[in-house]
Amino acid sequence: MNPSVKRHQLILQQLENQGHVGVLDLSTALQVSTVTIRKDLQLLEDKGLLIRSHGGATLESVYSKEPPPDEEEALSAAREVAIAAAGAQLIQPHESVIMAAGTILLAMARALPPHLPITVITPALTIGLELLQHPEIEVLQLGGYLRHSSSSVTGPHAEQVLTQIACSKLFLGVDGIDLDFGLTTTSISEAHLHQQMIRSAQQIIVLADSSKFGKRGFSRICGLDQVHRIITDKGISRQDAKRLEEQGIALTVV
């Protein structure tokens, strides 16, 4: 068999098993240069067999689109509920925490014990309204420009309030987690708000189902070096889990 054909078969087999392949890993495993691997990936992409991404390739596009909130919640509700419950368990009485917007954060708000004495800062109207049912939870609702797609606010007014706040934890949902590029979202204004949230919190905890790995939204929030913990589901690949642990990021798999 032609060596290049054999390489292509091995690359596609590994891609099918893991969902993502890296140039450096393939170069080591197949004992060829990274230049050769990149040419292989280009050829396979031209044939429509994969899509190249930063540092490797995936079976589908790494550029995520923002789904309608109702559709997003319906597609991943079960996984989100389990991830959200794990996030809620990390909050201790009398803490002040930031909860960003998103369906997974709304699920986390619903998972909070009704008599937990904490303070929650959030840009999400849905989360603020949900927590009104919890008499022991104080809510600081951020103000600003309302995003119709997510029922949350962004902009300088919300960012200014956050500069006056210091919290123990930030719970963040994202549209994409690229292990090289970092955390991303589909909105520039939302990314700016998330960056200020990160500056206001001691620990950054990301809640994301495994489908978010290997994808990128339009706007970069931060690198993974700023993340302390990621909570996800069992769909995460062994390769991704290992890389996160090597970077010192605590990983909770539900």
Overall fold of domain 3-58: Arc Repressor Mutant, subunit A (1.10.10)
DSSP state letter for 91: P
Assign residue 71 a region (left: φ > 0; alpha: ψ between -120 and 50; beta: otherwise).
alpha
Give CA–CA dist 111/216, Å, rounded: 28
* Predicted local distance difference test score (pLDDT) of residue 143: 92
| Residue 228 vs residues 31, 159, 248: alpha-carbon distances, Å | 35, 22, 8
Domain boundaries, the chain: 3-58, 69-253
Q: What is the DSSP string of 189-204?
A: HHHHHHHHHHHTEEEE
* Predicted local distance difference test score (pLDDT) of residue 78: 78
Which pTM value belongs to this model? 0.71
pLDDT tens sequence across 70-92 = 554 455 577 888 999 999 999 99
Note the CATH architecture for domain 69-253.
3-Layer(aba) Sandwich (3.40)
Assign residue 77 a region (left: φ > 0; alpha: ψ between -120 and 50; beta: otherwise).
alpha
Each residue's pLDDT expressed in tens, for the chain with a length of 254 residues: 678 878 888 888 888 778 788 899 898 989 999 999 988 888 888 777 788 877 888 875 545 555 555 554 455 577 888 999 999 999 999 999 999 999 999 999 999 998 899 999 999 999 999 999 898 999 999 998 888 878 899 999 999 999 999 999 999 999 999 999 999 998 899 999 999 999 999 999 999 999 999 998 889 999 999 999 999 998 899 999 999 999 999 999 99
Give CA–CA dist 254/250, Å, rounded: 13
* Predicted local distance difference test score (pLDDT) of residue 139: 96
The whole-chain average pLDDT of the chain stands at: 88
